[in-house]
């Protein structure tokens, strides 16, 4: 059995065959600067042939006489497979990635795209006989950049054009008078076909023929990425993508244009077949390979990845996952005319601690930050790789419900975005709820938390499970997530005491931050850095909440509030240091400064997994809509 092993460095085309039967015949010639190739002028009337382009909108159209229907609609089938060292987003989606080479696709693309000028094709003409049958009269090889002038006698004609969408010469009908026979199309080629839907009538006149090609087969792009691990691959990991009898082609009947399913070959891709697409020529977040096949029933593709190494966010440290292997079986139904993506997206695994509503709370290993520039522009929302103490305040301090650091959130709910939901893959993470941060505290609510803060000054009570550290408070992560690959700071649920920032001035939408607050009428100032770990929840205090009423009474403000987590270490008059986690609440200034924003303090954000995430939802795109 023949085995296919692509060399994609020379054959990179993200496309799939579409159906037979699209053309555009106009009544006048469009202006065209392409060279003209005259085909043996002999006093007959001329057909002036131009390539209009490649139809990129027609999808899921059955080919003529195809023995396998391609009218089925392909849905997303993405799922998350959890592991110890990393999780894997696997499945099939019709959306392309949004790197420079793989543009995000949430709908149909441009109606027509040009072919490469050097693309070769052949066109075949059949003349109508008095008995309404057709006889082959001529075939002509041309290139996409050439305007062909082909001489034909008066009469009615049907025609057929075929291309491999490259410079390959078709092994069929290259001699003008050779009657083309049924021919098996090459395996794993990007065949383009166009044909007449009505007769081309020549009657002592020149007839313009503008050809728009369609694709017939499916092009499956296999993408391996580390976008969800926030780090590029430093070298080619060991990749194996295989499937028995996955590559199929068709035989074409040139007299009718009918296609019938035929030859079969095994799929076999290795790391040598993958090319870097984001970025190109350096450490890559994304690698892709492609294969092409006729539409067929569901098949199973096995994808294995091992020997993974990543360059961390300090641009120096290499994290090597060694023999840790992802071995995934992915089901895909190749559809005629579809650009489909078989995705293997590696994502950082979560830490399990606490339960809410009967389910485990899954935490990010470190705080969220936002950074742009270069390759970071694709996925600017990230988690720190080593969970450092005192990270850059400009990129990791967010306002309540704000999705950009040092920026207040809009009062318009439709304009608010959850910054955690903007981490790749989109929607997998979210800002924790008040109930979720409650698993880190020794109290059941913010009122209890206020009392704990006051009483704890004299007799601090440790929060169950919490332990103090040098500048941090931490909790033991759940079983099954520990790994020697990750440092201690990211293998336990650790919150560094990065403090709370307070807004001073606002300039061009950015807020200047101050980490000191005044006490005793301004006589004493305290720097929150090194004293408290402050983490936002997503929940507001609603009207009628007891704590909100208390805060409003103390401040005289009529506003709303928001809950957060505050972690600290305290030492009683006699005793050792103890770790205390509490819920806290603060007032919000709605429509601050008349700018339509919500003024709040600025805190870190530690994301949790979104239990309602559904990668198989219709239209889901793992690339966040920034």
Closest CA to 92 of 71, 70, 77: 77
Q: Exposed, middle or buried by CB within 10 Å (0-12, 13-18, 19+), for 73? A: exposed
List the beta strands (DSSP E) in 216-323: 218-228, 238-252, 259-270, 275-278, 286-293, 299-306, 309-311, 318-320
- Model confidence at 114, pLDDT cuts 50, 70, 90, reads very high
Q: What is the DSSP letter of 272?
A: G
286-293 vs 275-278, strand pairing mode: antiparallel
Residue 480 confidence (pLDDT) above 60: no
pLDDT value for 120: 94
Measured in whole angstroms, the distance separating CA 555 from the mean position of its chain's CA atoms is 46
Residue range 365-384: average pLDDT? 92
Residue 268 confidence (pLDDT) above 70: yes
Spatial contact of 172 and 163, defined as CB atoms under 8 Å apart: no
Give how far Cα 421 sits from Cα of 80, 185, 376, 612, 624, Å.
15, 46, 17, 12, 8
Q: Which residues of 414-431 are buried (b: 16+ CB within 10 A; e: fewer)?
A: eeebbbbbbbbbbbbbbb
Q: Which two tokens stand for residue 573?
A: 């008059």
pLDDT value for 483: 65
Q: What are the backbone angles phi and psi of residue 357, rounded to the nearest 5°?
A: 60, 30
Spatial contact of 188 and 247, defined as CB atoms under 8 Å apart: yes
Average pLDDT over the chain reads 81
238-252 vs 183-184, strand pairing mode: antiparallel
Angle at 474 between CA 473 and CA 479, to 5 degrees: 175
Residue 333 confidence (pLDDT) above 70: yes
Residue 20 confidence (pLDDT) above 70: no
The CA distance from 588 to 600, in Å, is 5
The larger pLDDT score, comparing residue 30 to residue 117, is at 117
pLDDT value for 5: 45
| Residue with the two structure tokens 């060292």 | 85
From 61-65, 89-93, 283-287, 535-539, the region with the lowest mean pLDDT: 61-65
pLDDT value for 344: 96
- Model confidence at 13, pLDDT cuts 50, 70, 90, reads very low
Spatial contact of 294 and 336, defined as CB atoms under 8 Å apart: yes
Closest CA to 289 of 325, 327, 245, 236: 236
Residue range 566-584: average pLDDT? 81
Q: Which two tokens stand for residue 176?
A: 């003008």
The CA distance from 554 to 533, in Å, is 24
pLDDT value for 263: 85
- Model confidence at 204, pLDDT cuts 50, 70, 90, reads confident
- Model confidence at 591, pLDDT cuts 50, 70, 90, reads low
Following DSSP, what letter does each residue of 146-204 receive, concatenated? Answer: -EEEEEE-SEEEEEEEEE-SSSPPPSS--STT--PPPEEPPTT---EEEE-SS-EEESS
The larger pLDDT score, comparing residue 100 to residue 538, is at 538
Residue 207 pairs in a beta bridge with 47
SS3 443: coil
Sorted by sequence, the CB contacts under 8 Å of residue 282 that are 6+ apart come out as: 232, 276
Closest CA to 7 of 227, 326, 275: 275
Residue 541 confidence (pLDDT) above 90: no
pLDDT in tens, 303-325: 999 999 999 998 899 999 988 88
Residue 624 confidence (pLDDT) above 60: yes
| Omega before residue 279 within 30° of 0, cis | yes
Q: What is the pTM of this model?
A: 0.82
pLDDT in tens, 352-368: 999 999 999 999 999 99
pLDDT in tens, 211-236: 999 998 999 999 999 999 999 999 88
Q: Which two tokens stand for residue 3?
A: 């085995």
- Model confidence at 590, pLDDT cuts 50, 70, 90, reads confident
- Model confidence at 464, pLDDT cuts 50, 70, 90, reads confident
147-152 vs 36-39, strand pairing mode: parallel
The CA distance from 409 to 538, in Å, is 12
| Residue with the two structure tokens 């969970």 | 387
pLDDT value for 518: 63
Q: What percent of the chain has pLDDT over 90?
A: 51
pLDDT in tens, 136-167: 998 888 999 989 999 999 999 999 999 999 99
The CA distance from 44 to 65, in Å, is 35
- Model confidence at 270, pLDDT cuts 50, 70, 90, reads very high
Q: Exposed, middle or buried by CB within 10 Å (0-12, 13-18, 19+), for 156? A: middle
Residue 68 confidence (pLDDT) above 50: no
Residue 241 pairs in a beta bridge with 269, 303
Q: Which two tokens stand for residue 147?
A: 């305007």
Spatial contact of 561 and 548, defined as CB atoms under 8 Å apart: yes
pLDDT value for 34: 54
Angle at 362 between CA 358 and CA 363, to 5 degrees: 140
Residue 174 confidence (pLDDT) above 70: no
Q: What are the backbone angles phi and psi of residue 434, rounded to the nearest 5°?
A: -60, -40
Closest CA to 4 of 224, 244, 329: 244
Top mean pLDDT of 7-11, 332-336, 474-478 is at: 332-336
pLDDT value for 594: 65
Q: What percent of the chain has pLDDT over 70?
A: 76
pLDDT in tens, 416-433: 999 999 999 999 999 999
């Amino acid at each position: 059995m023949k085995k296919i092993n692509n060399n994609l460095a020379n054959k990179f085309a993200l496309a799939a065959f579409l159906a037979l039967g699209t053309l555009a015949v106009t009544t006048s010639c469009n202006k065209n600067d392409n060279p003209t190739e005259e085909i043996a002028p002999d006093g007959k009337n001329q057909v002036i042939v131009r390539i209009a382009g490649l139809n990129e909108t027609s999808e899921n159209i059955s080919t003529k006489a195809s023995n396998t229907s391609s009218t089925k609609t392909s849905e997303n089938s993405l799922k998350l497979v959890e592991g110890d060292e990393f999780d894997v987003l696997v499945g099939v989606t019709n959306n392309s990635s949004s790197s420079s080479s793989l543009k995000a696709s949430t709908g149909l693309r441009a109606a027509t795209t040009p072919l490469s000028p050097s693309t070769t094709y052949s066109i075949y003409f059949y003349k109508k006989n008095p008995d309404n049958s057709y006889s082959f009269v001529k075939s002509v090889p041309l290139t996409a950049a050439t305007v062909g002038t082909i001489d034909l006698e008066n009469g009615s004609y049907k025609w057929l054009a075929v291309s491999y969408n490259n410079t390959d010469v078709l092994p069929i009908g290259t001699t003008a008078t050779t009657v083309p026979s049924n021919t098996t199309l090459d395996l794993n080629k990007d065949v383009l076909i166009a044909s007449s839907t009505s007769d081309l009538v020549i009657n002592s006149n020149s007839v313009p023929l503008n050809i728009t090609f369609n694709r017939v087969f499916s092009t499956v792009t296999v993408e391996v990425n580390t976008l969800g691990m926030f780090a590029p691959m430093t070298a080619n990991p060991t990749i194996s993508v295989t499937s028995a009898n996955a590559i199929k082609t068709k035989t074409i009947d040139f007299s009718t244009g009918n296609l019938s399913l035929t030859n079969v070959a095994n799929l076999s891709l290795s790391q040598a077949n993958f090319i870097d697409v984001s970025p190109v020529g350096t450490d890559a977040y994304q690698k892709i390979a492609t294969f092409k096949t006729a539409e067929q029933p569901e098949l199973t593709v096995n994808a294995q990845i091992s020997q993974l190494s990543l360059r961390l966010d300090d641009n120096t440290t290499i994290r090597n996952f060694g023999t840790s292997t992802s071995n995934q079986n992915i089901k895909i139904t190749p559809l005629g005319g579809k650009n489909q993506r078989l995705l293997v997206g590696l994502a950082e695994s979560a830490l399990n601690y606490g339960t809410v509503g009967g389910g485990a709370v899954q935490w990010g290993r470190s705080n969220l930050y936002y950074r742009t520039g270069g390759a970071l522009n694709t996925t600017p929302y990230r988690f720190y790789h080593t969970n450092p103490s005192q990270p850059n305040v400009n990129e990791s301090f967010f306002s309540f419900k704000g999705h950009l650091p040092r920026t207040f959130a809009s009062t318009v709910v439709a304009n608010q975005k959850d910054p955690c939901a903007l981490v790749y893959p989109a929607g997998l993470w979210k800002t924790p709820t008040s109930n979720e941060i409650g698993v880190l505290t020794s109290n059941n609510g913010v009122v209890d938390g206020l009392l704990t803060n006051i009483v704890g000054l004299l007799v601090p009570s440790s929060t169950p499970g919490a332990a103090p550290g040098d500048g941090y408070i931490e909790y033991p992560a759940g079983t099954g997530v520990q790994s020697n690959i990750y440092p201690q700071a990211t293998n336990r649920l650790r919150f560094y005491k990065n403090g709370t920032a307070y807004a001073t001035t606002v300039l061009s939408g950015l807020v200047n931050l101050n980490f000191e607050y005044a006490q005793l009428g301004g006589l004493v100032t305290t720097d929150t850095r090194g004293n408290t770990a402050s983490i936002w929840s997503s929940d507001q205090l609603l009207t009628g909440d007891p704590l909100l009423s208390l805060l409003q009474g103390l401040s005289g403000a009529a506003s709303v509030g928001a809950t957060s987590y505050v972690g600290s270490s305290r030492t009683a008059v006699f005793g050792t240091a103890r770790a205390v986690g509490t819920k806290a609440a603060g007032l919000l200034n709605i429509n601050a400064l008349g700018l339509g924003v919500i003024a709040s303090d600025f805190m870190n954000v530690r994301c949790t997994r979104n239990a309602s995430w559904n990668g198989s939802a219709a239209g889901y795109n793992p690339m966040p809509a920034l």
